Amino acid sequence: MPPPITTSASPPPPALLPHLPPPPAAASTVPTAPVAATSMGLTAGGGGKTVATLLDQYQRARLAFAQGIADCAAREAPLEHLAAPAARAAVVPLLRPLLLDQVVAVQQAAALALGRLANHSPQLAAHVVAGDVLPHIVYSLDSPNRFYKKSAAFALRAIARHSPELAHRVVEAHAVDALCACLQDFDAGVKESAAWALGYIAKHTMDLAHAIVDAGAVPLLVMCLEEPEVSLRRISASALSDLAKHSAQLAQAVVDAGAVAPLVALLASTDAKLKRQAICALAQIARHSVDLAEAVVDGDLFPRVLVGFKDMDGGVRRQTAVLLCEVAKHSPDLAQLLVNSGAVAALIDFLGESRGATARFPAVMALGYIAAFSETLALAVLVAKGVPPLMDVLATESEPAVKAACAWTLGQIGRHSPDHAKALAAHAVLPKLLALLTQPAAATTTRATSPGTSPSPARNGSIKKPISASPRGDDGANASYEADSPSTTTTSTSNADVRVKGPSAP
């Protein structure tokens, strides 16, 4: 019987073992670096630290690139180079993926850079849109970071401001719903950026304004009117004005959302730009119909609106005259209300104190609308000594549109009876009108006051509105902001659609 096999066998002799190298002192899970990595200083022992360093360098490079483009786009000289076809074709595709970067600072810088590029010109804005960045920007509005949301809303505003076509592309990207969600954000800066973007979209066409109303933005904008931040209230009033100006239906939507009372309350503000925007919004609501004008008046408009004529800011005084003009033109009852509230005397004082066609035009038209409805209302203008300031306008202003408006207003005052005509003759109105009629350039004024034509001098020329600085510090954009109206049209509220709706219309 063979002996049993034991498990503790003795080791073989040393001569039978192969020659092996000694084991490493410490085990490492990092693979051996290639020659290129070794030349960069990568060692097997410090691999984890080196990878973190490389990732940090990559992040810094992305951030430096996005911030550098944003800084260049904020200055005129580098921006001209960025606007070149070769440069913009290279920059926009590189910025696009950074909008979805894992680092929020990189996302914000990329959105800001694209916004500043788009803000420069319609051509650059169209190129940015062609780069398919709108879905990325709209998606980023859902970010929890408030700074990123502000930059994204700024980029949308910069694209939409240039033309209805670009604004329509923004709407097609479902940006309106995302901007409405931003109006419910806790941060006032996010709300302000969203309201400003919505205003720039709404200003272009009625269809774009309807898209914003259908998205439910109006009640949210009305709520923003009651926020403590002045800049937010200013931008919200501007957006509501841009919505209401297009049609009676849109203006009615603004009224139904309860905007009149907060807008009237803003007339007591100490901020001149805020008062301008509030008065302009009320004028845009009142201009469309008798019912809307009555809704504005029923919001406790008088007598607090007349305080605007004593404001130190010329834009506030002018917009007050515009609002009275838009209210007075609709019906004899509204014109009588202005007379009873003392608005005629305030308009005449403003006409005598102000200078310049832009400031005087709405006051001249307002007096003409009031006087056109009845001989009693025309007599109220005469009794308030309204003819001498009108004669001064006729003699000193060189703008044909203002001269035409003044001649039309004098005609509405004197047309009712021989007594009214005699009162005008006592102020030597007829010789002055005859002298203007015989001048070579008098054909424009004659056409504006002849039967069968519109009483509005807007057909013969437009009055440019002054453009002031932005109502708040923008996040890098050099966008202009209109002092008298948030829209970018060059014709004032009083110049557009001026019609006498009473039987005395020529």
CA nearest neighbour of 222 among 203, 199, 239: 239
Q: What was the pLDDT predicted at 56? A: 87
Query: Distance of CA 75 to CAs 82, 93, 152, 401, Å?
Result: 10, 21, 20, 39
The candidate with the shortest Cα–Cα distance to 402, out of 437, 359, 452, is 359
Contact (CB, 8 A) for 283 and 319: yes
DSSP 308: G
Total count of residues recorded for the chain? 506
**C-alpha–C-alpha distance, residues 428 and 424, integer Å:** 7
Determine the Cα–Cα distance for residues 242 and 238; give it in Å rounded to an integer: 6
- What pLDDT is stored for residue 16 in this prediction? 39
3 state SS of 468: strand
Positive or negative, the Cα torsion across 416, 422, 424, 428? positive
Contact 423, 382 (CB under 8 A): yes
Kindly list the structural domains of the chain, giving each domain's residue range(s) and its CATH number in brackets, ordered by start.
338-506 (1.25.10.10)
CA distances from 356 to 142, 265, 359 (A): 48, 29, 6
pLDDT, position 46? 54
By CB neighbour count within 10 A (0-12 exposed, 13-18 middle, 19+ buried), where does 219 fall?
A: middle
The backbone region for 247, taken as left when phi is positive above 0, alpha when psi lies in -120 to 50, beta otherwise, is beta
DSSP-assigned beta bridge partners for residue 482:
467
The tokens of 218 are what? 């109006």
What's residue 461's pLDDT?
35
DSSP conformation letters of 81-135: HHTSHHHHHHHHHHHTGGGG-SSHHHHHHHHHHHHHHHHH-HHHHHHHHHTT-HH
Tokens describing residue 69: 């483009």
Contact 33, 44 (CB under 8 A): yes
Mark 292-314 as b/e (b = at least 16 C-beta within 10 Å).
bbbbbbebebbeebbebbebeeb
State the burial class of residue 495 (Cβ atoms within 10 Å of its Cβ: 0-12, 13-18, 19+): buried
One-character DSSP codes across 345-364 = HHHHHHHHH--SHHHHHHHH
Task: List residues bridging with 468 in a β-sheet.
Answer: 481
The sign of the dihedral angle between the CA atoms of 343, 345, 348, 352 is: negative
The reported pLDDT for the residue numbered 75 is 83
Please say whether the dihedral angle defined by the alpha carbons of residues 201, 171, 112 and 184, taken in this order, is positive or negative.
positive
pLDDT tens series, the chain, 506 aa: 445 544 444 444 444 334 434 444 444 333 333 433 444 444 444 566 788 888 888 889 989 998 888 888 888 877 777 777 777 788 888 999 999 888 999 999 999 999 999 998 899 999 999 989 999 999 988 888 999 999 999 999 999 999 999 999 999 999 999 999 999 999 999 999 999 999 999 999 999 999 999 999 999 999 999 999 999 999 999 999 999 999 999 999 999 999 999 999 999 999 999 999 999 999 999 999 999 999 999 999 998 999 999 999 999 999 999 999 999 999 999 999 999 999 999 999 999 898 888 899 999 999 999 999 999 999 999 999 999 999 999 888 888 899 999 999 999 999 999 999 999 999 888 888 888 888 775 454 444 443 333 344 333 333 333 323 334 444 433 333 233 333 333 333 333 333 333 333 33
Q: 468 φ, ψ to 5°?
A: -105, 180
Structure tokens, 495: 């110049």
Cα 52 to Cα 58: distance, rounded to the nearest angstrom: 10
- Are the C-beta atoms of 33 and 51 separated by less than 8 Å? no
- What single-letter amino acid sits at 73? A
Q: What is the dihedral of CA 151, 156, 162, 165, to 10 degrees?
A: 170
d(CA 150, CA 69): 18
Q: Give me 299's structure tokens.
A: 């919001």
Q: With contact defined as beta carbons under 8 Å apart, do 380 and 340 qualify?
A: no
